Amino acid sequence: MNFKYRARASNGEMVEGNVDASDQKSALNDLRGQGMIVVNLTAQGGVRSSAKSSPAPKPSSSSSSGGMSLKSLMNLDIGHLLSGGKVPLKSLMVFFRQLATMENAGLSLATSIDVIAGGEKNASLRFALQNIKGRLDRGMPLSQAMSQEKAFNTLIISLIEAGEEGGLLGQSLEQSATLLEKQEQLRTKIRSAMFYPSFIMIFAIGILILFFMFLVPKFEETFAALNIDLPQVTLIMFGIGNWFSRNWYIVAGVFAAIILGLHFLSTNKATKGTMDKIKLKIPVMKDLILKAAMARSSRTLSALTSAGVPIVRGLEMAEGTAGNRAVEEGYQALRQGVIRGISLGDSARQAKIFPVLVSQMMRIGEETGHLDNMLERVATWYDQELDEQVKATVSLLEPMLIVFVGGIIAIIATSIFAPVTSAIVQLS
C-alpha cells in the first residue's frame, strides 16, 4: 500500500514524499527509522489510512439480531437519563481492560462488548455499549462506532483507530486502560492534596458562625446582668456577633458571590486564560497545577506517539488534556513549530511554559528516535514529583491550620474568660 507523507527530516527541513508499506504502522516505523517526525500521513489518492479498518466482527451468537427488546431499551434509556449521561473514569478503565483481555483471548469485538454490557452497572456506559454492539454487527469499525458516543473522547478514539490501522487493537485497548488509570490516579492525588485543608477551613468557619450566631448573644446577656466592665477584646467580639446576627444574609451573599464569581471566571472562555495564568503565580498551587499538567499531557502524547498517531495530531490532543490555558498555548506553539520545521525540543524551550526537563527530554527523544519513551519517563517523573509535592503541601499546611484554628480558639477563650475572671474578682 502506498502512503503520501509530510514529515520533518533530521536536518530540520520539511519533506514530502511517498512510502510503500503494508499498513500505516509500518509506514510510520519506516519513516521514523530514517530519523523523520511524521506530520501527516495519508493513503495514496487522498484517502485516509483509517479507511483500512479491521474486518467487521461477526455477530455475536448471544444475540441473533444485535438489537435490544423495547423493554430493555426503555430501561437503559431511563437509567441513562438518571445518570446524566456521564460515565466515571473508573468504569471506562475497567471496560477497556476487560475488552483488551477478551480481544487478546480471540473473542470477537461484538461478543466481548455484549458480554461486558450485560454486567455493566453504569447505565450510561451500558447504553453506549449496546449502541456500539449494534453498529459493530452492521460492519462498522470499533473506532467509528465509539466516535458516535459521548462516553468516549477523541483521545481514546484516536488510540483505538491507530490500533485498528496497525493491527494492534489489543495493545491500543491496553494503552487506553492504562492512560485512564493514570488520569484517575492523578485526579486522586490532587483531590487528596486539597481535601484536608479544605475540611479544616470549612469546619473552622462553621464553628465560628455557630459561635457568633448562638453563643455570643447568650454571653452578652449574662455579662450585662452582672453589670461588670468588659475588656476591649470582649466588646469587639460582641460587636462582631451582633453585626453578624443582624446581617448574616449579607455575609452569606458575599461568600456565595465570591465562590460563583471565581467559578464563572475560571470556566468562561473570555476569562479562563487569565485565571489559569493567575493560578500559575500562586505559591504552592502553581507547582501542583504545572506538574499535573505536564504529567497528564506528556503521558497522553507518549501513548499517541507510540500508537502511531502523527505528531501534529498527537500534540493537538495532548493540548486538550493539559487542563490549563497557559499550558494549552504552549502546546499550540509546539504544534506550530513542528509544522514550520522546528524541533520539538527547541519549540518547547521557546514556549517558556515547559520546564527545562521537558524540552531536553523531547530533544533527546527526537535525536534517538524514542520520543514516546522519553515522554513516558517525563510523565513518570512528574507523577513522582506530584506525590512529593502533595506530601509537602499537606505537611506545610498542617502547622499553618493548627496555628489558625488555635488562634481563633485563643481569641474566643480570652474574650469569654477574661470577663468571667473579672466578675469573680469583683464579687470576692
Q: Give the separation between CA 325 and CA 248, rounded to whole angstroms.
A: 37
Residue 348 has pLDDT above 80, yes or no: yes
* Start-end of H helices in 311-370: 311-321, 325-340, 344-351, 356-368
Residue 217 neighbours by CB distance under 10 Å: 14
Higher pLDDT, 104 or 66: 104
- Cβ–Cβ < 8 Å for 393, 288: yes
CB atoms within 10 A of CB 223: 20
Query: How is residue 40 written as a grid cell?
Result: 501527516
DSSP string covering 291-317: HHHHHHHHHHHHHHHHHT--HHHHHHH
Pairing of strands 2-8, 14-20: antiparallel
Note the pLDDT tens digit of each residue in 86-134.
Answer: 788 888 888 888 888 888 888 888 888 888 988 888 888 888 898 998 8
Q: pLDDT band at residue 260, thresholds of 50, 70 and 90?
A: very high
366's grid cell: 527526537
Give the pLDDT of residue 257. Answer: 93
In degrees and rounded to multiples of 5, residue 41 shows phi and psi of -145, 120
Q: How confident is the model at residue 368 (pLDDT cuts 50, 70, 90)?
A: confident
Nearest alpha carbon to residue 200 among 402, 408, 396: 402
Angle between helices 89-104 and 169-210 (to 10 degrees): 160
As a whole number of angstroms, the distance between CA 194 and CA 204 comes to 16
Residue in the block written with cell 473552622? 204
Sequence-separated (6 or more) residues with CB below 8 Å from residue 149: 128, 131, 132
298-326 pLDDT tens trace: 888 888 887 777 888 888 888 888 888 88
Give the CA radius of gyration of the chain: 30
Buried-state track 269-278, b at ≥16 Cβ within 10 A, e below 16:
eeebeebbee
